[in-house]
Amino acid sequence: MIAEVILSINNKNVDKAFDYSVPGELEQSLEPGMRVLVPFGKNGRTVEAYVVNIKKETDVEPDKLKCVSAIQDGYAVFSPVMMRLAVYMRDKYYSTLSACLQCILPPGLSLTEHKLNYAYINEGSSKREVTISETLEKGGKQAQVLELLIKSGGMSISDIKKTLGISQSPIDTLAKKGIIVCLPVRIHRMPFKAEKYARFEALNLFPEQTAALEKISRKLEPDYIGLRSVLLHGVTGSGKTEIYLRLIEKAINQGKQAVVLVPEISLTPQTVSRFVGRFSDKVSVTHSRLSDGERFDQWQRAKSGAVSVMIGPRSAIFTPFENLGIIIIDEEHETTYKSETTPKYDVKELAEKLSEYTGCLVVLGSATPSVHTYHAALNGKYELIELKARINNRPPEVKVVDMRKELIKGNRSVFSYELQDAIAENLAKRELTILFLNRRGHSTFVSCRACGHVMSCDMCSINYTYHMYTDRLVCHYCGDEIASPRVCPVCGSEYIKFFGAGTQKVEEQIKKSFPFARVLRMDLDTTSKKNSHEQIYSSFLAGEADILIGTQMIAKGLDFPRVTLVGIIAADISIHMGDFRSAEKSFQLLTQVSGRAGRAELPGRAIIQTYNPEHYSIVYSRTNDYKAFYEHEIDFRQQLDYPPFSHLFVALFTGESEKRVAQCIYKLYEIMKRQNTESELDIFRPTPATVFKIKNIFRHKLIVKAENEEKLKKFVFGCIDELRKNEDLSDITVNSSLDPLNIP
């Protein structure tokens, strides 16, 4: 018996199947999809590998053929479907099969096996009591451990340490003496307690919901023929979640499973509670705040069939369900659905593939679909299903305030008069307010009035942000901090001025203008501790504050029924990002944030403050007109031949020497120019990246545009290979991405 394996070495040169013979004693248990250990290379070091095929014969000469050393898990960690998906990922994202297979595996898989995490009394040591009273110091740490284990029968080592407040060493000593035994035991850690969640009964659907549900759910019928991909375009507060829940219920009743993808930022207790409240312990959750071990446990629970619904960020697409029925991708426009590390997969593309392999249904949901997806839907790739009305039938009333006019009126505060009045009104009515500003810290710009010097990070091409509570200047790129200067470091003048507003300044000004208001702030600085996010969230939900100030953390997916006013302090931040998607991102953000207002009985309103009231992303979010925005945007994309009408390749070269980075990327540019004989591709001259230095590393980018994706990939990677042949790039990091959602 011969096993074909892929080595867990991420290198193009060894990224192919290697043959190994299977020793007789492993023949019975070895299956494709298993992890094994094999000897590799001249000195035969042991390497982890994945069995992709089992066969009878090999071309490798018998004396050269090596043997599989061991099986690692005793079961296949890859299903045939996942192995197929890995091959697709390799080709599509220009990666190695090894990297793709490793990307599919949960973190913590290798970790849990070998760790001795559980202890019990060695049955062989018959003289238990004796052991305590003779051999060990009475009341000493070892004796305490032993007593605890006699009482409990056995315990996880971390619990022993916690209970007794001791270190590892007395446990190790006891094990060495043979009095206790330590071994690895699977202890399933649960990310939540299902019984703590209130039951969430099915709601009576509104007619629009019923119609949408019927159209989608017939695609779950076994005999259904036709499109199995849906774009559910439902305005904010239109009740998309209830539709997801009904679809999942149907899949479960058919003995199938569901994957629900949500952006990490909206994976809030509220989101989880709706699913757990409906399906109780059939639901599992995975996210990056869980430990590797916890994430592995959730993977294991899915694999064993203990759960039928997995909720998580993009990596949850790799959940090893036996019989996948439906994949839901909520807030499909979020850029986090595309990975920024190799393999740079797009989860929507993977969902399409899984649908092709397994017949599962794919539902993308959003109030503000990405231009890319909406365009695909109009071209027949997705069935477009719409929810045009809010559940309460009242879209938020959106007002735009021209901040230029405020200046003329002499208002220099971060709040327009209109927003100030609205906040005061809301406080008087005891209704809740959300204030949104996509910048944390206090002042975003600190400079000297005498000489004009701007305080900026030495290591990054970025201004320092002033943080009021720590009285320090912080670089938001590298995290570097310095004490806030009292005098200008250049001219010594005392006239240091703070400009630009972040969330701390908004908080400060609210406290000044409305001293009695109870205020909460949610941004990176207030949520660094575990659970602080949840605490702020539930505190606001419980009505313990009147005003919630925050960054994009509060923009997405939250459903606070008593919020009736949303203030967007500076709508212009995202318009001027210098990315061709700026308008799209800005429209999405404004619409999503405004959508937090008036979601229940009380009518809601949003006030958008801007210096560009005539910009179309603002005009159409004011009228809440997605289609008009889309028409405008798609026109612009077509005229300039931007995606979805073309594909963009972006190469980012980074390195310590600015000269070398610029030189090397320019050489790539020249190679490309030379090879672009038929001028099929648009090759742009390299430029410094938007942030051209981070932590003393210089960054330059080069963009290539083409209509045909395959041609573009072949061309650019061919040119990079050519460059590598002519130029030593050991001091340069080359980061290449196809159709990235954020241009560096």
Interaction partner, residue 490 (ligand ADP, Zn ion, none; CB < 5-8 Å by kind): Zn ion
Least gap, CB of 591 to ligand ADP (angstroms): 11
Asked if residue 686 lies in contact with residue 666, where contact means CB atoms within 8 angstroms, the answer is yes
For ligand ADP, the binding residue among 8, 236, 484, 527 (CB under 6 A) is 236
Q: Which is nearer to ligand ADP, 263 or 441 (CB)?
A: 263
Phi, psi of 243 (to 5 degrees): -70, -40
Least gap, CB of 235 to ligand ADP (angstroms): 7
Phi, psi of 726 (to 5 degrees): -90, -15
Interaction partner, residue 453 (Zn ion, ligand ADP, none; CB < 5-8 Å by kind): Zn ion
d(CA 457, CA 480): 7
Q: Does 266 bind ligand ADP (CB under 6 A)?
A: no
Q: Does 333 bind ligand ADP (CB under 6 A)?
A: no
Q: Which is nearer to ligand ADP, 239 or 320 (CB)?
A: 239
Task: Pick the stretch among 145-153, 176-184, 235-243, 444-452 that binds ligand ADP (CB under 6 A).
Answer: 235-243
Q: How many residues does the chain have?
A: 744
Interaction partner, residue 488 (Zn ion, ligand ADP, none; CB < 5-8 Å by kind): Zn ion
Q: Which is nearer to ligand ADP, 4 or 334 (CB)?
A: 334
Least gap, CB of 234 to ligand ADP (angstroms): 5
Least gap, CB of 324 to ligand ADP (angstroms): 23
Least gap, CB of 500 to Zn ion (angstroms): 17
Task: Pick the stretch among 24-32, 215-223, 239-247, 582-590 that binds ligand ADP (CB under 6 A).
Answer: 239-247
Least gap, CB of 274 to ligand ADP (angstroms): 8
Interaction partner, residue 236 (ligand ADP, Zn ion, none; CB < 5-8 Å by kind): ligand ADP
Helical residues (DSSP H) of 289-416, grouped into ranges: 292-303, 347-358, 371-378, 403-408
Q: Which is nearer to ligand ADP, 52 or 328 (CB)?
A: 328
Q: Which is nearer to ligand ADP, 94 or 275 (CB)?
A: 275
Count of residues that bind ligand ADP according to CB under 6 A: 16
- Cα separations in angstroms, 72 against 5, 40, 78, 112: 13, 16, 13, 12
- Cis omega (within 30 of 0) on the bond before 644? yes
Q: What angle separates helix 269-279 from helix 532-541, to the nearest 10 degrees? A: 80
| Interface pattern 374-393 for ligand ADP (x via CB under 6 A) | -----------------x--
Residues 6+ apart with CB under 8 A from 198: 273, 277
Q: Report 558-577 residues binding ligand ADP (CB under 6 A).
A: 559
Interaction partner, residue 242 (ligand ADP, Zn ion, none; CB < 5-8 Å by kind): ligand ADP
Joined together, the tokens standing for residue 203 give 């709601």
On the CB side of 422, CA atoms within 13 Å amount to 25
d(CA 601, CA 417): 27
Least gap, CB of 481 to Zn ion (angstroms): 10
Asked if residue 432 lies in contact with residue 517, where contact means CB atoms within 8 angstroms, the answer is no
Contact residues toward Zn ion (CB under 5 A) are 448, 450-451, 453, 457, 459-460, 475, 477-478, 480, 488, 490-491, 493
Q: What angle separates helix 80-92 from helix 347-358, to the nearest 10 degrees? A: 140
Least gap, CB of 256 to ligand ADP (angstroms): 22
Least gap, CB of 556 to Zn ion (angstroms): 27
Joined together, the tokens standing for residue 299 give 């993977």
Q: Does 369 bind ligand ADP (CB under 6 A)?
A: no
Interaction partner, residue 598 (Zn ion, ligand ADP, none; CB < 5-8 Å by kind): none
Least gap, CB of 654 to Zn ion (angstroms): 15
Q: Which is nearer to ligand ADP, 598 or 744 (CB)?
A: 598
Asked if residue 390 lies in contact with residue 235, where contact means CB atoms within 8 angstroms, the answer is yes
Q: Report 583-602 residues binding ligand ADP (CB under 6 A).
A: 599
Least gap, CB of 475 to Zn ion (angstroms): 3
Interaction partner, residue 491 (Zn ion, ligand ADP, none; CB < 5-8 Å by kind): Zn ion
Q: Does 240 bind ligand ADP (CB under 6 A)?
A: yes
User: In this structure, which amino acid lies at residue 592?
Assistant: Q
Asked if residue 117 lies in contact with residue 156, where contact means CB atoms within 8 angstroms, the answer is yes
Asked if residue 203 lies in contact with residue 140, where contact means CB atoms within 8 angstroms, the answer is no
Q: What is 291-323 written as a DSSP string? A: -HHHHHHHHHHHHTTS-SEEEESGGGGG---SS
Q: Report 520-559 residues binding ligand ADP (CB under 6 A).
A: 559
Least gap, CB of 328 to ligand ADP (angstroms): 11
Sign of the torsion formed by the C-alpha atoms of 219, 225, 229 and 232: negative
Q: Does 242 bind ligand ADP (CB under 6 A)?
A: yes
Report the Cα–Cα distance between both ends of the chain, in Å, rounded.
50
User: In this structure, which amino acid lies at residue 310?
Assistant: M
Asked if residue 458 lies in contact with residue 493, where contact means CB atoms within 8 angstroms, the answer is no
Interaction partner, residue 391 (ligand ADP, Zn ion, none; CB < 5-8 Å by kind): ligand ADP
Least gap, CB of 491 to ligand ADP (angstroms): 53
Interaction partner, residue 320 (ligand ADP, Zn ion, none; CB < 5-8 Å by kind): none
Asked if residue 483 lies in contact with residue 466, where contact means CB atoms within 8 angstroms, the answer is no
Q: Which is nearer to ligand ADP, 233 or 303 (CB)?
A: 233
Kindly report the three-state secondary structure assignment for every residue of 81-137: HHHHHHHHHHHHCCCCHHHHHHHHCCCCHHHHHHCCCEEEECCCCCCHHHHHHHHCC
Interaction partner, residue 204 (ligand ADP, Zn ion, none; CB < 5-8 Å by kind): ligand ADP
For ligand ADP, the binding residue among 33, 106, 170, 239 (CB under 6 A) is 239
Q: Report 192-231 residues binding ligand ADP (CB under 6 A).
A: 203-206, 209
d(CA 370, CA 10): 33
Interaction partner, residue 205 (ligand ADP, Zn ion, none; CB < 5-8 Å by kind): ligand ADP
Least gap, CB of 462 to Zn ion (angstroms): 6
3-state helix, strand, coil in the chain (%, to 5): 35, 20, 40
Q: Which is nearer to ligand ADP, 228 or 240 (CB)?
A: 240
Asked if residue 248 lies in contact with residue 311, where contact means CB atoms within 8 angstroms, the answer is no
Q: Does 241 bind ligand ADP (CB under 6 A)?
A: yes
Interaction partner, residue 448 (ligand ADP, Zn ion, none; CB < 5-8 Å by kind): Zn ion
- Cis omega (within 30 of 0) on the bond before 343? yes
Cβ neighbours, 10 Å, residue 147: 13
User: In this structure, which amino acid lies at residue 627?
Assistant: K
- Beta-strand (E) ranges in 463-568? 465-467, 472-474, 481-483, 496-499, 519-522, 547-550, 563-568
Phi, psi of 294 (to 5 degrees): -65, -40
d(CA 552, CA 557): 11
Q: Which is nearer to ligand ADP, 79 or 241 (CB)?
A: 241
On the CB side of 45, CA atoms within 13 Å amount to 5
Interaction partner, residue 241 (Zn ion, ligand ADP, none; CB < 5-8 Å by kind): ligand ADP
Task: Pick the stretch among 117-125, 240-248, 293-301, 472-480 that binds ligand ADP (CB under 6 A).
Answer: 240-248
State how far Cα 97 lies from the chain centre.
Answer: 22
Q: Which is nearer to ligand ADP, 290 or 367 (CB)?
A: 367
State how far Cα 332 lies from the chain centre.
Answer: 12
Least gap, CB of 245 to ligand ADP (angstroms): 9
- Residue ranges binding ligand ADP (CB under 6 A): 203-206, 209, 234, 236-242, 391, 559, 599
